[in-house]
Amino acid sequence: MTTFSWSELDDRAVKMAKALSADAVEKAGHGHPGSPIDLAPIAYTLYQHFIKHDPSDPKWAGRDRFILSGGHASLTQYIQLFFSGYDVTLDDIKKFRQGIDTRTPGHPEYGLTPGIEMTTGPLGQGLASAVGFAYGQRYQRGLLDPDAAPGTSPFDHKVWVIAGEGDVEEGVASEASSLAGNQKLGNLTVIFDANHIQIEGDTKISFGEDVLARYKAYGWYTDEISFIQPDGSYKEDTEGLAKVLEKAEKVTDRPKFIKVDTLIAWPTPGKTNDESSHGSKLGTEAVAGLKKALGYDPEENFHIDEEALAHARKVAERGGQAHAEWDKKFNEWKAANPDKAALYERIKDGKLPENFDKAIDDVVATFEPGSKVATRKASGAVLNAIAAVMPELWGGSADLGGSNNTTIKGANSFAPKDLATRTWPNVDEYGRVLHFGVREFAMGAITNGILLGSDTRPFGGTFFQFSDYERPAVRLAALMDIPNLYVWTHDSVALGEDGPTHQPIEHLAAMRAIPRLEVVRPADEYETAEAYRYFFEKNNSHPTAMILTRQGVPTLEEARDKAAEGVRKGAYVLIDPEGTPDVILMASGSEVQHAVSAAATLVDEGIKARVVSVPSFEWFEEQDAEYKEEVFPKSVKARVSVEAGLALSWYKYLGDYGKPVSIEQFGLQGNADQNMEALGITAEHVVEAAKASIEEAKA
């Protein structure tokens, strides 16, 4: 960073940003003009003087990351990208919020606009995911360049955030900020735009605490500057802001939270410090008044001050120079660390290690057909085997590591050394065991940020019922198409005596309803191992949820030979009679055993039953029509689905005469066997349903 300086051209650039923000919303007819107008000097200061970036290469590995947590203020970022020389044009600004082909939607969308690091989505998740960006930077540095002095590694970069009241009001931001303070993430800086206005007006009606005191209590460094002067006048003191930020940059042992008191929409007549400027266009009169205050012609729209724009675009030259300096540093590191460099190239390319399959095969070789093993236990064994050959894999749980089997054995915990405990004595800042505490939503947001901000592969675990708390982050992962891995255990009423509050019923259907989320519910050890193999081998962009049992389930002889090919197809014939089957029994997870048992009973009674294991609807839907017909031939009308949850997901495959064996109520207080028996998840019930389906299909 060079010595801060501010000129008349910078003032003119900020004025241009304000006018463009007003014009873009006015042209669209809707949007949020107030915050982009008051944030213009803050964002301009960051992009011009603090954020390390190269507009010619938005994905440059050495760049700082910037996250606009209040995504409704997206014009703030779009205009700075345009000013800096990214591939964002004035026409893009003019098309703000207009049409499905716009590259400047109302909220920033990952993968759509160059320079956007993530889809921040609903308030709070941007800030929370930024904590994950900081996690990922630190772990990747430790993986590749752990001994470099602070600030000297090519893997050192900073994470910058602009957030507002709505962000810090959301619980997920509090969850993640607490973790960030505990982790002493010195590479993270949040600028808090305190304009004291929300849709319903002045925030004091609902938001009265001392936010700086809260963040100080979290363990953050805090500071503040007010653009509102003691005499009531308003001064956008960018030099004062720069001094505050320069002071904060010297703090390396804590995340930084900088409060800036602003007036929304300043200096728009009649709209400054008014909630009407938050979520609606300003109106012709107010926009004209703003332009007059800025010294612009009220009749001219989308005015470009070419001299000021050229001045702003010089940031690209500085970015190119920083990039060149980074290249030199990176090449020196690469030459000095050939093994680490090879690892970096592999993980950057998303490739698996050469011994990946062997690691899984060695675990599979220990499975014993006929034994009873919980799929959560099988998951833990497989994850640990993969972790042994994939150092980029790291993760943990929301305070359920022992129950989820998500702890990487022998690995240190990810935390500063002074956080070592009696339970977790082996701690260092580059450890690979994550501890989220009871913060499922933050866990989901942080692992999203890790994926977006690094080349490493995280996972997070909790009970399946608690995925309700994580779901908004899961949805955002699916929306962004990033390969987050969820390990959700205790998947049904069979978890038993914890009772109905902890027993998932609607959760499989709810998660399957999220587009691009791949839900996998393996039947036994073999299917669990093959599910993980395919998830990593597939190397696609979709997030995936492994839904696992608490209770032991039989390790199936048939799956030993068929799971390797069958699981990756989402559904496969596990058991088949000779000739055309009379009925198809389809099941997932722990209920496959009941379909197998029921099929044996039906065969003894002269009824030919096919058993289809369905670990993943999403993977099955990827198959061609020929394979689908092979598994579920249209000629077989009698069908039964078996799953300890709502039947909602299964009707597509049941057809007109199929019968679901399902649970359409909340759970019970009994143990696993009692609950399953009482709720009809038994082989006997499957047999009855099969006979009823056959009879209806004949009628």
Compute the distance between CA of residue 452 and CA of residue 467 in angstroms, rounded to an integer.
Answer: 21
Report yes or no: 373 and 524 within 8 Å, Cβ to Cβ: yes
* Per-residue DSSP letter, 513: T
Tokens 């060149």 correspond to 324
Angle 72-73-74 (CA atoms, 0-180°, nearest 5)? 90
Strand partners, 692: none
- Residue 628 sits at the vertex; the CA angle it makes with 520 and 587, to the nearest 5 degrees, is 40
Phi, psi (degrees; rounded to nearest 5) at 85: 100, 15
DSSP state of 206: T
DSSP 252-306: -SS-EEEEEE--TTTT-TTTTT-GGGTSS---HHHHHHHHHHHT--TT--S---H
Concatenate the DSSP letters of all residues of 611-676 into one string: EEE-S-HHHHHTS-HHHHHHHS-TT---EEEE-SS-SGGGHHHHTTT-EEE---S---SS-HHHHH
Q: Is 165 a catalytic residue?
A: no
* 3-class DSSP state of 547: strand
Contact (Cβ atoms closer than 8 angstroms) between residue 494 and residue 672:
yes
Taking the CA atoms of 491, 492, 498 and 500 in sequence, report the sign of the dihedral they define.
Answer: positive
Instruction: Return the residue matching tokens 């050469």.
Output: 354
Cα–Cα distance, 41 to 34 (Å, whole number) = 13
Q: DSSP strand E in 273-328: where? A: none
How many alpha carbons fall within 13 Å on the CB side of residue 218? 26
Residues in the chain: 699
Q: Where are the beta strands (DSSP E) in 1-128?
A: 65-68
Q: Which two tokens stand for residue 378?
A: 């099988």
* DSSP letter, residue 114: T
SS3 for 9-21 is HHHHHHHHHHHHH
109, 165, 429, 440: which is the annotated catalytic residue?
Answer: 440
Q: Half-sphere exposure (CA, 13 Å, Cβ side) for 410?
A: 5
Helical ranges in 418-556 per DSSP H: 440-453, 467-480, 507-512, 525-538
Contact 192, 152 (CB under 8 A): no
Q: In what order do the strands lie in the sheet with 583-587?
A: 572-575, 609-613, 583-587, 639-642, 659-661
SS3 per-residue string spanning 582-628: CEEEEECHHHHHHHHHHHHHHHHCCCCEEEEECCCHHHHHCCCHHHH
Residue 631, CA atoms < 13 Å, CB-side half-sphere: 25
The Cα 312–Cα 113 span in angstroms is: 20
Angle at 457 between CA 171 and CA 509, to 5 degrees: 60
What tokens does 16 get? 């241009």
Neighbouring CB atoms inside 10 A of 98's CB total: 16
Count of CB atoms within 10 A of residue 461's CB? 32
What 3-state DSSP class applies to 457? strand
The helix or strand, by DSSP H or E, that contains position 360, with its residue range, turns out to be helix 356-364
Pairing between β-strand 639-642 and β-strand 609-613 as defined by DSSP bridges: unpaired
Catalytic residue ranges: 440
